[in-house]
Amino acid sequence: MPNASDDLFTREDPIFSNKELLEINHLPGEGRIVGRDDEIANLATAVNPAIFGQSPSNVLIYGKTGTGKSLCAKYVSQRLVDTAEEEGVKATFAYVDCAQDTTETQAVQTIADSVNDPAITGIKVPDKGLSTSTYYKRLWRILDALYDVVLIILDEIDKLSDDDILMQLSRAGEAGKIAGCKLGVIGISNKIQYKDRMDERVKSSLCEREFVFPPYDANQLRDIMDARSDAFRNGVLDPSTIPRAAALAAREHGDARKAIDILRYAGEIAQSMGASTVKENFVTQARQRAETDRFRELIRGSTPHSRYVLQALAILSLSNQQQDGFRTSRVYEVYENICRQQGSDSLSLRRVRDLLKEHAFLDIIEQSKHSGGSAEGSYTKHQLLEDPDVVKDVLTEGVDV
């Protein structure tokens, strides 16, 4: 017989009252977005013309990981759609995670499917099986049938395998593909060099406005966490826990995702230990977990060679623990060895330098310039900022070694 007073299970979470607030995909509501007033206002200005029936500007947003790019793009898009509705303008937005939909066909399918209302259009957008050009044709028909204006957010745009979709979307109006509907593209990337790789024609139409989101400082991170502290039960959070987490996260990266992760993990640690409060010293352990997650997320979808370069640096750091930094030529040697082991042709030294630069932009590594005197000239040294063990573990996850 089930016993109503069975005490095998805890019936209420003793730590969290609304853990959802700390989950990765939680979209904070108004008043919970901290320190991004300027960025939000700038984005709003760029897309504003949509509300009076003109074309929104295409926008490219850059910034390091966890600086609120995806959040602000979705937030502004949603507000635009709401305001447009009040003005009698039919608007919507589509969100594409290009790390998931890397091909042109997948991306167009996702857009068409997410803006479609088959009951009205009578148009079907199957998951697969159509040619790219058929998906486009259906998308254009759907847009003209349902909307006056549509924003398309291409997040992690650098993960797209080529520029073709950017060309199509940014020129759809001019090329007469859509008649009435206006289209705006918001591209988001944490690769500062992404634009250099872009086709000139795409660049000129896609990059009408560019915004760079700076990392958060400790105060902003504290406010971001404070705004979500109602994820915890009353009195459970030690008053020093959030300030400590904010200080740590700001010193390293100014990454809001990491700050929030630290807070969630600190709560989970309290849970697993059966503690009644989330103590400041749980933050240290939580940070290690957050760091591993962050790194895993940073290299998600990155190319094998981009990983080999990091692996080379991790190997060097682990076998020369005293040494702070390694010269490009040294990193390249180890990288070539890894390529050989993997049975893959190595990239040129120049390309490897670019990959190192990308890692430096994301604070995975740090680069420093040195002068070797007249005999040597100047050279660059590269040092891992992530824990080399974390890097090695994450890079070899799911790989036979």
Q: Are 187 and 152 in contact (CB under 8 A)?
A: no
- As a whole number of angstroms, the distance between CA 59 and CA 71 comes to 15
Of the pair 70, 302, the CB lying nearest Mg ion is at 70
Of the pair 15, 72, the CB lying nearest Mg ion is at 72
Query: What is the closest distance, in whole angstroms, from the C-beta atom of residue 70 to Mg ion in the complex?
Result: 3
Binding site for Mg ion (CB under 5 A): 70
**C-alpha to C-alpha distances, 350 to 195, 197, 347, nearest whole angstrom:** 18, 14, 8
- Point out the residue whose Cβ comes nearest to ligand ATP: 68
Which are the contacts of 245, defined by CB distance < 8 A and separation ≥ 6? 221, 225, 259, 262, 263, 266, 283, 286, 287
Query: What is the closest distance, in whole angstroms, from the C-beta atom of residue 325 to ligand ATP in the complex?
Result: 26
| Residue 311 interacting partner from Mg ion, ligand ATP, none (CB closer than 5 to 8 Å by kind) | none
- As a whole number of angstroms, the distance between CA 327 and CA 398 comes to 30
Strand order in the sheet with 365-371: 326-327, 378-384, 365-371
Alpha helices in 15-163 (DSSP H): 37-47, 69-86, 104-115, 118-121, 132-146
| Residue 349 interacting partner from Mg ion, ligand ATP, none (CB closer than 5 to 8 Å by kind) | none
Query: What is the closest distance, in whole angstroms, from the C-beta atom of residue 254 to ligand ATP in the complex?
Result: 10
Query: What is the closest distance, in whole angstroms, from the C-beta atom of residue 236 to ligand ATP in the complex?
Result: 21
- As a whole number of angstroms, the distance between CA 144 and CA 132 comes to 19
**Residue 2 identity (one-letter amino acid):** P
Of the pair 14, 28, the CB lying nearest Mg ion is at 28
How many CA atoms does the CB half-sphere of 270 hold within 13 Å? 25
- Point out the residue whose Cβ comes nearest to Mg ion: 70
Query: What is the closest distance, in whole angstroms, from the C-beta atom of residue 258 to ligand ATP in the complex?
Result: 8
Binding site for ligand ATP (CB under 6 A): 24, 28, 32-36, 63, 65-71, 190, 224, 256-257, 260
Tell me the torsion sign for CA atoms 32, 298, 150, 50: positive
| Residue 190 interacting partner from ligand ATP, Mg ion, none (CB closer than 5 to 8 Å by kind) | ligand ATP
Query: What is the closest distance, in whole angstroms, from the C-beta atom of residue 32 to ligand ATP in the complex?
Result: 6
- As a whole number of angstroms, the distance between CA 163 and CA 168 comes to 9
Of the pair 102, 277, the CB lying nearest ligand ATP is at 102
| Residue 91 interacting partner from Mg ion, ligand ATP, none (CB closer than 5 to 8 Å by kind) | none
Of the pair 67, 380, the CB lying nearest ligand ATP is at 67
Of the pair 36, 305, the CB lying nearest ligand ATP is at 36
Query: What is the closest distance, in whole angstroms, from the C-beta atom of residue 18 to ligand ATP in the complex?
Result: 15
Of the pair 14, 28, the CB lying nearest ligand ATP is at 28
